[in-house]
């Protein structure tokens, strides 16, 4: 990379500290640029359902941008690898965990505002489900799914909304 840009690697290290530090800074910019629309969607819509739906659609838009790689670097960069990349993998995992937290926080706000009629008991599972759908959209795009195919996945994910949020129906799995 340094050679292709005509920059000495010493200059890169002097500016960024290390490859890992450079990667973290790239991910910050990437997160702001490509992660901004889905994050904004969570906050700009009056209902939680509309916010989640818009977030999924914004994600599909971002991972299928023309003239850009069809995937999310956050999901697919360094999930595995050498031991020396542990700090980078953990940094990426922290960002992915923050996505889950942002989605969960939107559900909590919906409950507090009376938009959702449910207890906090199932919010972790539902938020994790939608975070998994977000991450899956990226993997599907990487494997060649186009925007229309991702929209079909989003339609399926939203079709389960009422069942997932039915406070009378217990969610499978451990509850907190």
69 vs 163: which has the higher pLDDT: 163
Q: What is the DSSP letter of 120?
A: G
DSSP-based three-state secondary structure for 72? coil
Task: Grade residue 1 by pLDDT with cuts at 50, 70 and 90.
Answer: low
Of the candidates 134, 129, 126, the residue with the CA atom closest to the CA atom of residue 60: 134
**pLDDT-above-90 percentage for the chain:** 40
Inter-residue contact 68 to 52 (CB < 8 Å): no
Cβ count near 167 (within 10 Å): 12
Least confident stretch, 57-61, 67-71, 94-98: 67-71
User: Does 70 have pLDDT greater than 50?
Assistant: no
Mean pLDDT value across residues 107-135: 90
pLDDT for 142: 85
pLDDT for 101: 95
Task: Grade residue 32 by pLDDT with cuts at 50, 70 and 90.
Answer: low
Domains in the chain, ordered, with CATH? 18-165 (1.10.357.10)
Cβ count near 121 (within 10 Å): 12
Alpha helices in 45-165 (DSSP H): 48-63, 73-76, 86-112, 123-142, 147-159, 161-165
Inter-residue contact 103 to 130 (CB < 8 Å): yes
User: Does 59 have pLDDT greater than 90?
Assistant: yes
Question: Mean pLDDT for the chain?
Answer: 79
pLDDT for 86: 72
141-160 residue pLDDT tens: 888 999 999 999 999 999 99
Task: Grade residue 25 by pLDDT with cuts at 50, 70 and 90.
Answer: low
């Amino acid at each position: 990379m340094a050679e292709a840009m005509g920059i000495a690697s010493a200059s890169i290290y002097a500016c960024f500290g290390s490859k890992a530090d450079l990667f973290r800074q790239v991910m910050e910019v990437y997160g702001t640029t490509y992660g901004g629309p889905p994050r904004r969607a969570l906050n700009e819509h009056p209902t939680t359902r509309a916010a989640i739906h818009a977030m999924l659609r914004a994600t599909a838009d971002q991972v299928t941008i023309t003239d850009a790689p069809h995937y999310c670097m956050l999901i697919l960069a360094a999930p595995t690898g050498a031991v020396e990349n542990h700090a980078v993998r953990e940094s990426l995992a922290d960002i992915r965990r923050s996505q889950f937290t942002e989605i969960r926080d939107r559900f909590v706000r919906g409950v507090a505002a009376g938009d959702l009629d449910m207890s906090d008991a199932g919010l972790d599972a539902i938020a994790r489900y939608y975070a998994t759908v977000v991450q899956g959209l990226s993997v599907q795009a990487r494997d060649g799914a186009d925007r229309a195919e991702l929209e079909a996945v989003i339609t399926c994910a939203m079709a389960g909304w009422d069942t997932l949020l039915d406070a009378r129906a217990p969610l499978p799995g451990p509850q907190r």
